[in-house]
C-alpha cells in the first residue's frame, strides 16, 4: 500500500512539474514572439494567439488587488498540496496534479513577473473568441477539474453497483453477530 501511494505521489509530482515547465516555456515564447495589438488566428475566430498581461484573477476580476490574489494563490496551492498528499486514488492524484501545476504556473507569474514581487501580472496568450485570453496554466486547471469530476463520478458509479439491491418499502434489518436475522 505504501509503495502504491509513493508511486501515485511521484506520478503527481512529475505531472505538476511538467505542467509548470510547459506553462513557463510557452509564456516565455509568447512574450518573445507576440504583441498585445495583433491577434494571430489559429482556428478562425474561435482560438488565436494574442499577448496580454492580467493583473487580476479570472476575467481580470480584482485587477486592483493583485497582492490579495497572490496571497489567495499561495493559500490555494498549500491546500492543493495537502489534498494531494491525502489522495487515495490515481484519478484524484492526477486531477490535483494538473491543478497544482496550473496554480504554480500562475503563482510564479504573480510572484516574479513585473511590475513587482507579489504583484506580478499573469502572462496570457490564448485568445478564446472575443471572450477572454488565458494560458496553459488555465487549461491545466480546467483539465484537473474535469479529471476530479470524472474520478468522483466513477467512484459514485462503483458505490452504487456495490450496494445491495433493495426493494422500495422493505425495511433494512441490521445484521447480527453470527449473520442471523
| Residues marked as catalytic | 124, 138
Q: What separation in angstroms does the CA of 95 have from each of 12, 31, 78, 88, 173?
A: 9, 29, 16, 12, 39
* 52 neighbors 133 (Cβ within 8 angstroms): yes
**What's the CA gap between 22 and 16, in Å, rounded?**
10
**What's the CA gap between 144 and 35, in Å, rounded?**
29
150 CB-near residues (< 8 Å, 6+ apart): 91
Radius of gyration of the chain (CA): 22
**What's the CA gap between 21 and 78, in Å, rounded?**
19
Amino acid at each position: 500500500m505504501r509503495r502504491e501511494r509513493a508511486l501515485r505521489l511521484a506520478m503527481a509530482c512529475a505531472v505538476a512539474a511538467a505542467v509548470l515547465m510547459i506553462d513557463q516555456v510557452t509564456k516565455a515564447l509568447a512574450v518573445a514572439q507576440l504583441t498585445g495589438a495583433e491577434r494571430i488566428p489559429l482556428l478562425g475566430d474561435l482560438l488565436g494567439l494574442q499577448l496580454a498581461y492580467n493583473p487580476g484573477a479570472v476575467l481580470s476580476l480584482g485587477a486592483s488587488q493583485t497582492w490579495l490574489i497572490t496571497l489567495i494563490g499561495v493559500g490555494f496551492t498549500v491546500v492543493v498540496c495537502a489534498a494531494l498528499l491525502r489522495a487515495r486514488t490515481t484519478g484524484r492524484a492526477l486531477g490535483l496534479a494538473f491543478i497544482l501545476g496550473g496554480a504554480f504556473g500562475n503563482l510564479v507569474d504573480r510572484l516574479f513577473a513585473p511590475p513587482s514581487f507579489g504583484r506580478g501580472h499573469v502572462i496570457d496568450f490564448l485568445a478564446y473568441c472575443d471572450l477572454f485570453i488565458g494560458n496553459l496554466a488555465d487549461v491545466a486547471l480546467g483539465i484537473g477539474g474535469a479529471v476530479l469530476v470524472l474520478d468522483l463520478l466513477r467512484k459514485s458509479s462503483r458505490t452504487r453497483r456495490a450496494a445491495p439491491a433493495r426493494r422500495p418499502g422493505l425495511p433494512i434489518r441490521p445484521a447480527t453477530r453470527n449473520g442471523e436475522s
